Structure 1
Amino acid sequence: MIGCQDFCGHYDWTFAYLQREYGEEALRDYWEQAIARDSQAHARALIAAKGFQGMAEYWGHTLAEEEAGYVATAGANYYRVDMHRCPSLGFLLERGQQQFADYCEHCIGWIGPLMADYGFAIDHAHNHRGQCWWEFRRASEAGAPSAPGEVAGPKDVRLRQDWESGPIDRYLRSRRE
Structure 2
Amino acid sequence: MPETASPPSPLPYTDTKPVGAADFYTAVNATFRFIEKEFGNEGLKRYWTELGRGYYAPVTQRWREGGLPAVAAHWKAFFAAEPEAEVVVTEHANEVVLEVWRCPAIRYLREHGREILPCFCQHCSFVSSAMGEGAGVETRIRGGNGSCEQRFAKTGHFDQPQRLEDIATAS
Q: Which residue of 2 aligns with 1:58?
A: 74
Query: Secondary structure of 1:174's partner?
Result: coil
The one-letter code of the counterpart of 1:176 is L
- Are 1:125 and 2:113 matched, yes or no? no
- Are 1:110 and 2:127 matched, yes or no? yes
Alignment partner of 1:137 out of 150, 153, 165 = 153
Q: Does 1 or 2 have the higher relative contact order (CA < 8 Å, sep 6+)?
A: 2
Report the CA distance between 1:88 and its aligned residue. 1.2
Query: Secondary structure of 1:122's partner?
Result: strand
| Structure 2 residues without counterparts, runs of 5 or longer | 1-19, 166-171
Count of residues paired in the alignment: 145
Query: Secondary structure of 1:51's partner?
Result: helix
Task: Output the TM-score relative to the length of structure 1.
Answer: 0.74
- Are 1:89 and 2:89 matched, yes or no? no
* Residues 65-122 of structure 1: per-residue CA shift (max 9 Å, x gap): 1141011111121110000011111100111113412221111121112223332232
Higher helix share: 1
- Are 1:174 and 2:169 matched, yes or no? no
Q: Which residue of 1 aligns with 2:93?
A: 76
Report the CA distance between 1:124 and its aligned residue. 1.3
Alignment check: 8 A CA contact 2:52 2:128 kept: yes
* Residues 25-53 of structure 1: per-residue CA shift (max 9 Å, x gap): 111111111x2123223322221211101
Query: Secondary structure of 1:9's partner?
Result: helix
Counting aligned pairs with the same residue, the percent is 26
| Structure 1 residues without counterparts, runs of 5 or longer | 144-171
Report the CA distance between 1:57 and its aligned residue. 1.2
The one-letter code of the counterpart of 1:78 is E
The CA RMSD measured in Å over matched residues stands at: 1.8
Report the CA distance between 1:16 and its aligned residue. 0.7
Report the CA distance between 1:7 and its aligned residue. 1.3
Q: Which residue of 1 aligns with 2:7?
A: none
The one-letter code of the counterpart of 2:78 is T
Alignment check: 8 A CA contact 2:122 2:164 kept: no
